[in-house]
Amino acid sequence: MAQHRQQFGSLALGDQVGIRIPSKIQTRIRRPARPDKPRRLSPVVVFVITLSLCLLLTFLAFHRLSENKENEIDLEGNGVFRRNSTVFSKELKFGHGSGLVGRDSRYWDRDDRRRDQDYEENDVLAHPTEQKDHGHDQEPKKEGKERHAGGGLYNEGGRAELETYKEEYENSLKMKNSKEDEYDDDGIDAQDEVEEQEESKEEDESKKDVILSMKAKVSSVVARNASSDSSKDEKSSSSGKSTGSKRKPKHHKFSGSSCQMKFLNSTAQLVEPVENKKFSRFLLQYVDVEERPSGTMNWEPKFAGHQNLQEREESFYARDQKINCGFVKGPEGSPSTGFDLAEDDVRYMKSCHIAVSSCIFGNSDHLRTPYSKLITRQSRKNVCFVIFMDERTLQTLSSEGQKMDNMGYISLWKIIVVRNLPYTDMRRVGKVPKFLAHRLFPSARYSIWLDSKLRLQRDPSLILEYFLWRKGYEYAISNHYDRHCVWEEVLQNKKLNKFNHTIIDQQFEFYQSDGLKRFDLSDPNKLLPSYVPEGSFIVRAHTPMSNLFSCLWFNEVERFTPRDQLSFAYTYLKLRKKNPKKTFHLNMFKDCERRSITKLYRHRAERRNISIQTMR
Higher pLDDT, 519 or 258: 519
pLDDT band at 315 (very low <50, low <70, confident <90, very high): very high
Average pLDDT over residues 37-50: 74
Helix-then-strand count for the chain, H and E: 23, 12
Cα R_g (the chain), whole angstroms: 36
CB 288 within 8 Å of CB 252: no
Residues 511, 486: contact at Cβ < 8 Å?
yes
Q: What is the largest CA-CA distance in the chain?
A: 149
**Helix 568-578 × helix 544-559 angle, to 10°:** 130
Q: pLDDT at position 158, please? A: 40
Element housing 449 (H / E): strand 446-450
Task: Compare 33 and 14 and report the one with higher pLDDT.
Answer: 33
Which region among 50-59, 298-307, 425-434, 555-564 has the lowest average model confidence (pLDDT)? 50-59
Q: Which residues pair with 476 in a beta bridge?
A: 539, 587
Give residue 612's pLDDT.
33
DSSP per position, 162-215: HHHTHHHHHHHHHHHHHHSPPPP-TTHHHHHHHHHHHHHHHHHHHHHHHHHHHH
On whether residue 267 sits in a domain, the answer given is no
DSSP summary character for residue 51? H
What confidence category does residue 190 fall into, taking pLDDT thresholds of 50, 70 and 90? very low
Q: Are strands 475-479 and 454-456 parallel, antiparallel or unpaired?
A: unpaired
Q: What is the pLDDT of residue 188?
A: 44
User: Do 371 and 455 contact (CB within 8 A), yes or no?
Assistant: yes
Per DSSP, what are the bridge partners of residue 446? 354, 541
Tell whether 461 is covered by a domain: yes
Q: Are strands 586-589 and 475-479 parallel, antiparallel or unpaired?
A: parallel
Output the pLDDT for position 213: 58
HEC readout, 565-588? HHCHHHHHHHHHHHCCCCCCCEEE
Nearby residues of 490 by Cβ (< 8 Å), 6 or more positions away: 73, 504, 508, 566
Distance, CA of 15 to CA of 567 (rounded, Å): 113
Q: Is the dihedral of CA 304, 308, 309, 315 positive or negative?
A: negative
pLDDT digits (tens, 9 = 90+) for 435-487: 999 999 999 999 999 999 999 999 999 999 999 999 999 999 999 999 999 99
For residue 388, what are the domain limits? 284-615
Q: For residue 379, is it within any domain? A: yes
Query: pLDDT: is 180 or 302 the higher one?
Result: 302
What's the residue count for the chain? 616
pLDDT of 323 over the 90 cut: yes
pLDDT at 408 over 50: yes
106 or 507: which leads in pLDDT? 507
Question: Looking at the domain assignment, is residue 241 inside a domain?
Answer: no
The stretch 252-265 carries a mean pLDDT of: 67
Buried-exposed string 179-197: b where 16+ CB fall within 10 A, e elsewhere: eeeebebbebeebbeeeee
3-state helix, strand, coil in the chain (%, to 5): 45, 10, 45
User: Of 41-55, 203-217, 507-521, where does mean pLDDT reach its minimum?
Assistant: 203-217
Least confident of 145-149, 260-264, 361-365, 400-404: 145-149
Give 394-420 as a DSSP string: HHHHHHTT----TTSEETTEEEEE-BS
Query: What letter does residue 469 receive in the DSSP assignment?
Result: I
Strands 354-360 and 598-600 come out as unpaired
Domain for residue 75, yes or no? no
Instruction: Tell me how far apart the alpha carbons of residues 574 and 512 are, in angstroms, rounded to a whole number.
Output: 12
**Residue that wins the pLDDT comparison between 192 and 475:** 475
CA proximity to 248, closest of 198, 201, 210: 210
Look up the pTM and report it. Answer: 0.67
**Domains contained in the chain, number:** 1
Q: Which amino acid is at 54?
A: C
User: pLDDT tens digits, residue range 520-552?
Assistant: 999 998 999 999 999 999 999 999 999 999 999
For residue 42, pLDDT beyond 90: no
- Nearest Cα to Cα of residue 73 among 81, 62, 65, 61: 81
54-75 average pLDDT score: 65
DSSP tag of 599: E
Q: Which residue has the higher pLDDT, 129 or 46?
A: 46
CA-nearest of 402, 401, 541, 558 to 476 is: 541
Nearest 5 degrees, angle CA 37-CA 41-CA 42? 135
Q: Is the pLDDT of residue 29 over 80?
A: no
Distance CA 109, CA 102 (A): 13
The DSSP code for 117 is: G
- H helices present in 328-445, as ranges: 343-350, 377-382, 391-399, 426-435, 437-440
**How would you write 288-302 as a 3-class SS string?**
CECCCCCCCCCCCCC
Rounded to whole angstroms, the Cα distance separating 145 from 121 reads 10
| Residues 314, 321 contacting (CB under 8 angstroms) | yes
Which residues touch 103 (CB under 8 Å, ≥6 apart)?
A: none
The CA distance from 198 to 209, in Å, is: 16
Kindly state the average pLDDT of the residues 370-391.
Answer: 94
pLDDT band at residue 311 under the 50/70/90 scheme: very high
CA distance 42 to 481: 59
Examine the pLDDT at 386 and tell me if it is beyond 70: yes
Q: Is 111 a domain residue?
A: no
DSSP three-state, residue 29: helix
How high is the pLDDT of residue 147?
36
Q: How many CB atoms lie within 10 A of CB 66?
A: 10
The answer to whether the Cα torsion of 425, 604, 397, 450 is positive or negative is: negative
Q: Which strand (E) or helix (H) includes residue 598?
A: strand 598-600
> Rounded mean pLDDT of 94-104?
44
Averaged pLDDT, 214-224: 57
User: Residue 376: is its pLDDT beyond 60?
Assistant: yes
Letter for the amino acid at 435? F
Percentage of the chain modeled with pLDDT above 90: 50
Residue 612: strand, helix, or coil: helix
Higher pLDDT, 34 or 140: 34
pLDDT above 60 (res 24): no
pLDDT tens by residue, 232-241: 444 444 444 4
Mean pLDDT of 28-49: 64
Mean pLDDT, the chain, whole residue set:
75
Which letter does DSSP use for residue 165 in this model? T
* Rounded-to-integer distance, Cα 286 and Cα 226, Å: 77
| pLDDT for residue 303 | 97
pLDDT(579) > 70: yes
Between 350 and 24, the more confident residue is 350
Report how far Cα 57 is from the mean position of its chain's Cα atoms: 35
First to last CA, the chain: 98
Give the torsion sign (CA, 138, 250, 533, 265). Answer: negative
Q: Are 362 and 391 in contact (CB under 8 A)?
A: no
Between CA 137 and CA 296 the distance in angstroms is 46
Residue 423 has pLDDT above 50, yes or no: yes
Q: Answer yes or no: is 163 within a domain.
A: no
